[in-house]
Amino acid sequence: MAAGDIETFQRDGIWFNRIEGESRTLGTSFESRSEAIKVGRGAATARQVKHTVRAEEGPSGTGNLYDWHPRDLMN
């Protein structure tokens, strides 16, 4: 992931979003994975960056994930 991309991740059963390269979370926490993804995707669209979803927080490149980028809407 590049600095500035949005990452949605889970920690202890709670879902969060953060901007890659920053330690703080973006906004509030979510009990629902789908709600966290919706907000994370919206943030990525607004910033025109990639959105990545991880099953669990861990070192970069671990966990189940998928990537989504606003440019995918054009294909």
- List pLDDT tens digits, range 33-45: 999 999 999 999 9
How many structural domains is the chain composed of? 1
- Which tokens in the block code for residue 21? 């390269």
- pLDDT value at residue 42: 96
Structural domain boundaries enclosing 12: 6-74
Its pTM stands at: 0.73
For residues 49 and 1, the answer to whether their CB atoms sit within 8 Å is no
- Which tokens in the block code for residue 6? 């949005």
In a domain, 1, yes or no: no
**3-state SS assignment for residue 67:** strand
- pLDDT value at residue 23: 87
In a domain, 25, yes or no: yes
In a domain, 69, yes or no: yes
In a domain, 47, yes or no: yes
Share of the chain above pLDDT 70, in %: 72
**3-state SS assignment for residue 64:** coil
Write phi, then psi, for 35 (nearest 5 degrees): -70, -40
Tell me how far apart the alpha carbons of residues 63 and 72 are, in angstroms, rounded to a whole number. 22
Q: Which of 5-14, 24-33, 53-62 has the lowest mean pLDDT?
A: 53-62
